[in-house]
Amino acid sequence: MGYEQVLYDIQDGVAVITLNRPDKLNAFTGTMGEELWDAFTRSVADDEVRAIVFTGAGRAFCAGVDLKALGQPAEGQKISSGRFIREFPEAMYGCPKPSICAMNGAAIGVGVTMAVSFDIRIAADDAKLAVPFSKLGILAGFGSSYLLPRLVGRGRAMELLLSARTISGREAEEMGLVNRSLPAEEVLPAALDLARGMAGLDPLVLEHCKRLVNTGEAGLAEALAGEKEIGASLREAKAARDG
Q: Does the pLDDT value for residue 200 go beyond 70?
A: yes
Q: Does the pLDDT value for residue 237 go beyond 90?
A: no
Residues with Cβ within 8 Å of residue 163, at least 6 apart in sequence:
134
Q: Does the pLDDT value for residue 115 go beyond 90?
A: yes
User: Does the predicted TM-score (pTM) go above 0.85?
Assistant: yes
Mean pLDDT lowest for which of 177-181, 189-193, 197-201, 214-218? 214-218
**In this predicted structure, what is the pLDDT of residue 80?**
77
The mean predicted confidence, pLDDT, of the chain is 92
- Residue 95: φ, ψ to 5°: -60, 135
Q: Which amino acid is at 26?
A: N
Q: Does the pLDDT value for residue 52 go beyond 80?
A: yes
Domain ranges in the chain are: 6-199, 203-242
**In this predicted structure, what is the pLDDT of residue 33?**
95
**In this predicted structure, what is the pLDDT of residue 223?**
61
- Integer-rounded Cα Rg, in Å, for the chain is 18
Contact between 142 and 123 (Cβ < 8 Å): no
- Residue 229: φ, ψ to 5°: -70, -50
Contact between 71 and 59 (Cβ < 8 Å): no
**In this predicted structure, what is the pLDDT of residue 220?**
58
In CATH terms, is domain 6-199 a member of 3.40.1440.60?
A: no
Query: Which 8-state DSSP code applies to residue 162?
Result: H
